[in-house]
Structure 1
Amino acid sequence: MASLKEIDTRIKSTKKMKQITKAMNMVSSSKLRRAEENTKQFTPYMEKMQDAITAVAGADKNSNHPMLQQREVKKSGYLVITSDKGLAGAYNANVLKRLVKDIEERHDSPDEYSILVLGQVGVDFLKNKGYNIHQSLVEIPDQPSFKEIQAIAKKAIDLYSDEEVDEMKIYFSHFVTVLEHRPSIKTVLPLSPEDSSTGHGQMSSYEFEPDKESILSVILPQYVESLIYGTILDAKASEHATRMTAMKNASDNATELIDDLSLEYNRARQAAITQQITEIVGGSAALE
Structure 2
Amino acid sequence: MASLKDIRTRIDSVKTTRQVTSAMKMVSAAKLKKAQDDIVKIRPYAEKLNDIIYDIISSLEEGHQLKLTEERDLEKVLIVMITSNRGLCGAFNSNVSKEVNKLLNTDFSDLHQQSKVDVMSIGKQGEKLLKTAGTLCAISNNAVYSDIAFHNVELISDQIIIDFLNKKYDKVILVYNEFVNAAVQNVSAKQFLPIELPKIDVNQTSDYIYEPSMNAVLEDIVPKSLKTMFFSSILESIASEHGARMTSMHKATDNASELISDLELSYNKARQGAITNEILEIVGGAEALSQ
The normalised TM-score by structure 1 is: 0.91
CA distance in 2, matches of 1:171, 1:224: 15
Contact 2:96–2:126, Cα closer than 8 Å, also in 1: no
SS at structure 1 position matched to 2:78: strand
Which residue, out of 276, 279, 282, partners 2:281? 279
Equivalent runs, 1:130-141 vs 2, <5 Å:
130-141=134-145
CA 222–269 in structure 1, closer or farther in 2 if over 3 Å, else same: same
Name the residue aligned to 1:31: 31
Is it true that 1:155 corresponds to 2:159 in the alignment? yes
SS at structure 2 position matched to 1:174: strand
Could you tell me which amino acid in structure 2 is paired with residue 160 of structure 1? F
Which residue, out of 191, 206, 209, partners 1:206? 209
CA 102–141 in structure 1, closer or farther in 2 if over 3 Å, else same: closer
Residues 36-86 of structure 1: per-residue CA shift (max 9 Å, x gap):
100111123213422432343332153322111212222211011101111
Contact 1:65–1:216, Cα closer than 8 Å, also in 2: no
Equivalent runs, 1:182-261 vs 2, <5 Å:
182-194=186-198, 204-209=207-212, 211-261=213-263
Name the residue aligned to 2:99: 98
Could you tell me which amino acid in structure 1 is paired with residue 178 of structure 2? H
Name the residue aligned to 1:107: 109
Share of identical aligned residues, percent? 34
Could you tell me which amino acid in structure 1 is paired with residue 224 of structure 2? Q
CA distance in 1, matches of 2:76, 2:63: 25
CA 97–235 in structure 1, closer or farther in 2 if over 3 Å, else same: same
CA distance in 2, matches of 1:205, 1:225: 22
Could you tell me which amino acid in structure 1 is paired with residue 87 of structure 2? G
Contact 1:31–1:142, Cα closer than 8 Å, also in 2: no
Moved over 6 A (4+): none
CA distance in 2, matches of 1:136, 1:110: 21
CA distance in 2, matches of 1:140, 1:245: 25
Contact 1:68–1:190, Cα closer than 8 Å, also in 2: yes
Shift of 1:197: 7.1
CA 110–262 in structure 1, closer or farther in 2 if over 3 Å, else same: farther
Shift of 1:216: 2.8
CA distance in 1, matches of 2:188, 2:21: 28
The count of aligned residue pairs is: 284
CA distance in 1, matches of 2:286, 2:147: 73
CA distance in 1, matches of 2:205, 2:141: 37
CA 102–215 in structure 1, closer or farther in 2 if over 3 Å, else same: same
Residues 137-176 of structure 1: per-residue CA shift (max 9 Å, x gap):
1144488221232222222212211111111111111112
Could you tell me which amino acid in structure 1 is paired with residue 182 of structure 2? V
Is it true that 1:46 corresponds to 2:46 in the alignment? yes
Ranges in structure 1 where 5+ consecutive residues have no aligned partner: none
Name the residue aligned to 1:16: 16
Could you tell me which amino acid in structure 1 is paired with residue 174 of structure 2? I
CA distance in 2, matches of 1:110, 1:13: 51
Name the residue aligned to 2:57: 57
CA distance in 2, matches of 1:59, 1:236: 37
CA 178–197 in structure 1, closer or farther in 2 if over 3 Å, else same: farther
The normalised TM-score by structure 2 is: 0.90
Contact 1:74–1:112, Cα closer than 8 Å, also in 2: yes
SS at structure 2 position matched to 1:111: coil
CA distance in 1, matches of 2:31, 2:284: 64
CA distance in 2, matches of 1:139, 1:5: 46
CA distance in 2, matches of 1:262, 1:273: 16
Residues 68-116 of structure 1: per-residue CA shift (max 9 Å, x gap):
1212222211011101111110111111111102201222325221111
Contact 1:107–1:113, Cα closer than 8 Å, also in 2: no
Name the residue aligned to 2:71: 70
CA distance in 1, matches of 2:114, 2:88: 31
CA distance in 2, matches of 1:122, 1:62: 41
